[in-house]
Structure 1
């Protein structure tokens, strides 16, 4: 390990020290007479001052891959390592039995989160004193009563920056929102705390949220811990990077076009996009508020698949429909989790693989991940057929048109308050004068209705397309789940993650989906570039991505897959994902 050199990204744990004091600020507050740059620098400085000095890394590594650095840092004890490398199920069991105190578990994850932040710049708000005070209360309750507070008793949980916690800021990458602690927690936060969770950090997002990378003008850029020349994805990129470095056992992000699943896939962890209106969203900060044709949903990210299931069961067990008017009245169903509509637990399932979406042919590592999955499922006794893509480009473009109808006005209504520029490029060498890329234009109300009407029709057509697969399976049922890439590549260099067609169709059609790491990584020997002369058209993605590919560019990037089910089959999709995950692990 070496001292950071001249090419080290300054967003990795450094800041403009002295600005905070020079401005004479005891706390960062929005002042319209201050420049946006000074406000941003003061906020970043205030963040750094919350980091315990004894947890600072003396010699920051210059390696691209820093996944294993926390183990080697010397900052974590053997107990810290045992705790932070345990599954959610193990953590909850040991917390409930008092083998580990909540204070100890919270301290271990806090320490590892701070290490992760110095490596990949993944955090926004840090409130460790508050978290430890909460953990102490939980320990005292368990000692006094012999009972846990709830199913998440003592478990540290991280949150995407937009999730409001009373008394803490949610800047969401907007400088105009600095110095404005929220007055009321989101309903999801109330439920997590009532269930015993210990909230301890919030994580980085792109300005506006509406990017599949993570960078803003306050906190800077979040990198992929497997290869810091690549993006962690977005917009829940801070969550993905933090959990990949095991700085949190469980986090909550949001997904409107892939914002949970892309970071989960790129960072080699598990992520879940639930159906519309199952997890409460009320009380959170957001962009595009009022746009309710393609809904953003909250979903979990975790190092283990059991973490996803545990938090969904916990939240639904609190009857969130009694607090959030938009949540549907649907309890967690053990019957559906036992695959009652899919032949029953332990029965033969039929999976279909989408080898490509007809827009972009995946890079060789992604193809290999799909082949590994097919082999594992066949070995486990399941049926695997090919999935025929259906209007994937039309579905994606229709979604982009809905967003673009008013997104420009939405973003500018906030950025103009501080004078900060609207980010037009995620490239590290961006000048700040770039025009933000959009697939659409402002629309009249009537024009928007027509686009939304088309979305309605596409949802019906896709349901019919799926139902018709009953003629291709041996189970007497349509395909149980579809397995697809998360993206056409394992990750992307900073500024070049521009393709979300493999995820956005699930948002448009409201299909719940789970991201699973295959356990494989990009390998220059196995993932050699193959010659091609024909490319999909008319969009340029296919040829551009093909020409960019070399295995060396994506060195060490994890290879993920996506498991997709039909609307409101959340429990079944989680159960089928366990079938897929178990098959993959048994074939490693």
Structure 2
């Protein structure tokens, strides 16, 4: 670097150089192959992976572990395959924040030695490569939350979830990008740059776990560790066409992260999985709770995973067609209609869910996020002498405008508690098994246009477990004429703006190739039931397509 006090641009340039230099020359993609709009199949098209490496990297985590137990696969060959595919994925999408290939291969060799000596795995995650969101601590790596001020924040210990998984034989080989300050449903920062969507690089991968979303979509990881305080697991999963799960607060280990508003209590983030199958979502939860983490993280509930939970034979599902704040775009309406048709055709009960509480829930949730008026955000940006990237500048200008007093904070907390009670009453009255709804008003947004997270953040505020799942992709016939909004007139300026982003002629072209995903929501602490319902639902949808 050029001076004793490097500029933010020099810090960012050095960080990107360090990532690039850890990609072996023989794993570098011909630059002409990076020029297309859709790069999701680049790992296969590049010719850099062997047939066996392609096979390994297209297995689910559950399948990899089964092959490892049978000694069909070794930890070393599996790790090499995913390191290569992650390197290719990064060149396509800029999804990696730190590369740990050497450490991973060393750990894999030790696991293979253990298997050879004892003839059994060291734990239930033996030899499974797992990717990790950047702000989750791994000893010896940085955890920056995408901030220049924290660029040299080296962790001296593992986060509890990392420690638990490492003890069960997981291999950590990459950390993935998150946005500046974490507080965005896109992934862009001065430190790491912008992460793009492999299905269409003019679209965002989502955020804040956007690096994981892009990497999983390219099969560059079998399982990822993310976090979610407003949709940060679910939005990237939805935008990239993978699976993501936000558990109930207090179920899974959450200690050992860096981030702003540390100590906030009335709305707490959670750790959860991004995966390529529903089975793998549950694998993550089982492994996370296997060694009773509540003994080490006092805020956790002493509640083991309950695998015996089953979905009812006849389901009653509430459907949110629109939250009456921002109306979903035509592809999402089509997907909802398709899933509802599948459910009713199988004899299940589907009712319209009244989302009239969502406007107030969305507003109060945004207040809780920024009780200090964004002061800590501005402080850290100033400390790093860096500008806010466009999506964060918009956020701070539009959402973080009022500093609440202690008395005002009490009133906000009371308002949120009353809304939680009202929502629980509505659920009790209708006695549904789950809510089916959009994961976002849009499929993956064009960069810097992701300005509404109401379909996900309300369920953080309510503390309901929620998961997203893919249901096809945008089609040329997805028009407002074919799938009109609930209200013919815009509901508010934000709804008008979102509607303008999807013009009948341009919409399908603008969002070409984008996956469509929906969200399933369960009651608080009914995480297992929600995943069972999701598994049943997704199986039926797959058969109907």
Same-fold call, TM cutoff 0.5: yes
Corresponding position of 1:17: none
Match status 1:583 vs 2:540: yes
Runs of at least 5 residues in structure 1 that lack an aligned partner in the other structure = 1-19, 24-30, 427-431, 470-477
CA deviation string 1:134-155 (max 9, x = no partner): 1111111111111211111110
| Mapping for residues 530-569 of structure 1, pairs under 5 Å | 534-537=488-491, 539-549=492-502, 550-569=507-526
1:529 is displaced (CA, Å) by 4.6
Asked whether the equivalents of residues 425 and 436 of structure 1 are also in contact (C-alpha less than 8 Å), the reply is no
The equivalent of 2:474 in structure 1 is 522
Deviation at 1:290, TM superposition (A): 1.5
In the aligned structure 2, how far is the partner of 1:577 from the partner of 1:306? 11
2:386 to 399, 404, 420: 420
Q: CA deviation at 1:442?
A: 0.9
Cα deviation, 1:50-88, whole Å, max 9, x if unaligned, reads 111110011332211111121111011100110011112
Moved more, 211-220 or 437-446: 437-446
Distance (whole Å) between structure 2 residues aligned to residue 178 and residue 440 of structure 1:
27
C-alpha spacing 1:554/1:90, structure 2 compared with 1 (3 Å): same
Asked if structure 2 preserves the Cα contact closer than 8 Å seen for 1:280 and 1:326, the reply is no
1:351 aligns with 2:317: yes
Aligned pairs for 1:243-392 (under 5 A) are 243-335=216-308, 337-339=309-311, 343=312, 347-392=313-358
Instruction: Quote the residue 2:167 is aligned against.
Output: 194
| Deviation (angstroms), 1:416 | 2.5
Q: Output the CA distance in 2 between the equivalents of 1:433 and 1:286.
A: 20
2:23 matches 1:51: yes
User: With structure 1 as the length reference, what TM-score do the two structures score?
Assistant: 0.89
**8 Å Cα contact 1:125/1:201 also seen in 2:** yes
Q: Deviations over 1:343-383 (max 9, x none)?
A: 4xxx1111121111111221110011111111222333322
Residues 442 and 32 from structure 1, CA distance in 2 versus in 1: closer, same or farther, beyond 3 angstroms?
Answer: farther
CA contact (8 A) 1:175 1:418 kept: yes
The offset of 1:332, in angstroms, is: 0.7
Describe the shift of the 1:516–1:435 C-alpha distance in structure 2 as closer, same or farther (beyond 3 A). closer
Q: 1:9 — aligned with what?
A: none
Quote the offset at 1:414 in angstroms: 2.2
Report whether the alignment pairs 1:483 with 2:425. no
1:161 to 112, 134, 150: 134
Once the two structures are superposed, what CA deviation does each residue of 1:400-434 show, in whole Å capped at 9, x if it has no partner? 011111252221332222211233436xxxxx899
Contact 2:96/2:177, CA 8 A, preserved across alignment: yes
Tell me what 1:500 maps to. 453
8 Å Cα contact 2:373-2:400 kept in structure 1: no
> Deviation at 1:303?
1.0
Deviations 1:17-54 (A, max 9, x none): xxx6xx4xxxxxxx862212111111111111111111
Separation in 2 of the partners of 1:205 and 1:562? 22
Cα distance in 2 for partners of 1:436, 1:239 equals: 28
| Contact in 1 for aligned 2:202/2:446 (Cα 8 Å) | yes
- Tell me how far apart the structure 2 counterparts of residues 583 and 433 of structure 1 sit (CA, whole Å): 41
Match for residue 452 of structure 1 among 395, 413, 425: 413
**Corresponding residue for residue 570 of structure 1:** 527
Could you report, residue by residue, the CA deviation over 1:147-168 in whole angstroms, capped at 9, with x for unpaired residues? 2111111100000001101111
C-alpha change, 1:109 and 1:501, in structure 2 (3 Å) is same
Q: Which runs of 4+ in 1 moved over 6 A?
A: none
Contact 2:203 / 2:445 at 8 angstroms: preserved in 1? yes
Q: How many matched pairs?
A: 538
Task: Output the aligned Cα RMSD.
Answer: 1.7
Q: Look up the SS of the partner of 2:34 in the other structure.
A: coil
2:368 is the alignment partner of 1:402: yes
Task: Quote how far apart the aligned CAs of 1:181 are.
Answer: 1.6
Q: Residue 97 of structure 2 aligns with which residue?
A: 124
Q: Secondary structure at the match of 1:425?
A: helix
1:211 to 157, 179, 184: 184
Distance 2:108 2:404 in 1: 50
Q: C-alpha separation between the residues in 2 aligned to 1:483 and 1:527?
A: 22
Per-residue displacement from partner, 1:84-104 (whole Å, max 9, x unpaired)?
Answer: 111121111001111010111
Shift in alpha-carbon separation, 1:558–1:212, aligned structure 2, 3 A: same
Q: What SS does the corresponding residue of 1:326 show, helix, strand or coil?
A: coil
Alpha-carbon separation, structure 2, partners of 1:32 and 1:577: 54
Question: Are the equivalent residues in 1 in contact too, given 2:131–2:176 (CA < 8 A)?
Answer: yes
For residues 170-215 of structure 1, the C-alpha deviation after alignment (integer angstroms, 9 at most, x for no partner) is: 1221112223321111111100101111110000011100011100
Between the aligned partners of 1:424 and 1:123, the Cα distance in structure 2 is: 21
Q: Where in structure 2 are there 5+ consecutive unaligned residues?
A: none
Matches within 5 A, 1:30-41: 33-41=5-13
* Shift in Å, 1:298: 0.7
Is 1:272–1:515's contact at 8 Å kept on the other side of the alignment?
yes
Looking at structure 2, the residues matched to 181 and 460 of structure 1 have their Cα atoms a distance apart, in angstroms, of: 42
Sort the Cα spacing of 1:381 and 1:138 in 2 relative to 1 into closer, same or farther, 3 A.
farther
How far, CA to CA, are the matches of 1:552 and 1:585 in structure 2?
25
